[in-house]
């Protein structure tokens, strides 16, 4: 971090989220300096128990997901807890939620309630299908959104069932859309003489649908239903992953005419570069299976490292298919300082991914790793609401807060 003020310094965010989508929004905003207060139930966000961790500790994923946030635990089954959360929301610029549809409203913390108390609030709600329409009350997870957002149908090989990517793509896409919506709404509020807030309505399925490229326009205009094509790109070729002699895989994209000619030369197959069928993208797409077979029969004659050196020397876009171990040891990521060691405020050491994107003059920063349930309850209630210590103790004794 430089001596510059963080770009979101002074922005107050309250997060009513769990698992992935809303907490990812809070993490991104915290990385760039926002004061993010994460409100958990006294039992904690279930993500604390997802994935590997040190024995009797929260998961390492949690430590990254909750980094830079102040952690408050409130029981919303108690009317006093619901009132505390509303009072906190009155003091904030942004509210983020991804709880089951109707949950925030049942607590008196829906958009109508909060905006009545704080007209300037930017209220970002992430749900399975958005706040309107016949599916609006359906619960939704990323898995469902990927299935109903179009991406699952086109992922995999044509002779096999659809597959998932192995990560929570739907949730993370929704988080990015929510961050975009929040920043747009804040910019609009800045320009509004009445300083009015906004309701940012993010649907998981629409966040997935938004990245499906030509899927909808091709069907809407020509009746084309995109099908699964395995590792091939549907609209350009050759682009795939290819085997090496040491049982590894290398991604190669030679899907412009110039790079394809360079690849043909590197393969010592000049007849491919001379074939008029292959001098246009549409011709290469039509011959994609033929090209993949030729490239694979050549790539498998080389070990992983020598193939990559050859491709790099020929200026052909390529790269290894990388595991977590490969990524951790990658010199490019090391040079970019993309894996950082940080600490919880109790001193526990954790390594995690660094902030993305990288800003030259006002970069984000990891201030601390995610901590323990309710570790900031007292300080936040004192700072935001002026609540004295004896009142905090009384509420804690009653089980309203933790």
Instruction: Provide the annotated active-site residues.
Output: 171
Helix or strand run (H / E) with residue 320: strand 318-320
Alpha-carbon distance 249 to 238, whole Å? Answer: 15
Across the chain, which distance is largest between two alpha carbons, in Å? 84
What are the C-alpha distances in Å from 98 to residues 21, 52, 127, 299, 318?
Answer: 7, 24, 6, 46, 38
The radius of gyration computed from the CA coordinates of the chain, to the nearest angstrom, equals 25
Alpha-carbon distance 227 to 219, whole Å? Answer: 12
Least Cα distance to 364 among 4, 107, 47, 65 occurs for 4
Contact 13, 34 (CB under 8 A): yes
Least Cα distance to 305 among 324, 291, 318 occurs for 318
Give me the residue label for tokens 């793509």.
Answer: 169
**Bridge partners of residue 343, in order along the sequence:** 349
- Beta carbons within 8 Å of 147's beta carbon, 6+ residues apart: 153, 162
How many Cβ atoms sit within 10 Å of the Cβ of residue 161? 8
Angle formed by the axes of helices 169-191 and 21-31, nearest 10°:
50
């Amino acid at each position: 971090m430089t001596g510059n003020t963080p770009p979101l310094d002074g922005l107050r965010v309250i997060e009513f989220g769990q698992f992935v989508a809303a907490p990812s929004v809070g993490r991104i905003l915290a990385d760039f300096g926002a004061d993010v207060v994460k409100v958990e139930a006294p039992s904690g966000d279930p993500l604390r128990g997802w994935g590997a961790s040190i024995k009797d500790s929260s998961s390492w994923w949690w430590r990254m997901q909750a980094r830079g946030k102040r952690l408050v635990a409130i029981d919303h089954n108690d009317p006093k807890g619901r009132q505390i959360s509303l009072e906190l929301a009155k003091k904030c610029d942004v509210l983020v939620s991804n709880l089951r549809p109707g949950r925030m409203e049942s607590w008196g913390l829906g958009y109508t309630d909060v905006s009545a108390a704080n007209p300037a609030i930017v209220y970002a709600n992430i749900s399975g299908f958005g706040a309107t329409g016949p599916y609006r009350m359906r619960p939704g997870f990323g898995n469902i959104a990927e299935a109903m957002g179009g991406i699952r149908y086109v992922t995999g090989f044509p002779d096999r069932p659809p597959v998932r990517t192995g990560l929570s793509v739907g949730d993370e896409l929704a988080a990015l859309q929510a961050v975009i919506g929040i920043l747009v709404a804040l910019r609009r509020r800045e320009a509004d003489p009445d300083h009015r807030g906004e309701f940012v309505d993010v649907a998981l399925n629409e966040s997935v649908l938004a990245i499906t490229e030509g899927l909808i326009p091709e069907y809407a205009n020509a009746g084309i239903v995109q099908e699964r094509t395995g590792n091939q790109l549907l609209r350009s070729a050759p682009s795939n992953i290819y085997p090496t002699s040491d049982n590894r895989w290398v991604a190669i994209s030679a899907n412009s005419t110039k790079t394809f000619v360079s690849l043909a030369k590197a393969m010592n197959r000049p007849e491919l570069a001379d074939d008029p069928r292959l001098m246009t993208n549409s011709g290469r797409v039509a011959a994609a299976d033929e090209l993949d077979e030729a490239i694979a029969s050549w790539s498998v004659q080389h070990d992983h490292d020598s193939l990559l050196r050859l491709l790099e020397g020929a200026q052909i876009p390529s790269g290894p298919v990388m595991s977590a171990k490969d990524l951790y040891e990658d010199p490019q990521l090391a040079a970019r300082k993309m894996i950082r060691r940080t600490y919880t405020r109790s001193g526990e050491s954790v390594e995690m991914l660094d902030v993305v994107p990288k800003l030259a003059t006002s970069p984000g920063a990891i201030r601390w790793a995610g901590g323990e349930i309710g570790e900031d309850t007292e300080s936040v209630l004192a700072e935001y609401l002026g609540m004295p210590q004896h009142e905090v103790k009384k509420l804690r004794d009653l089980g309203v807060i933790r």
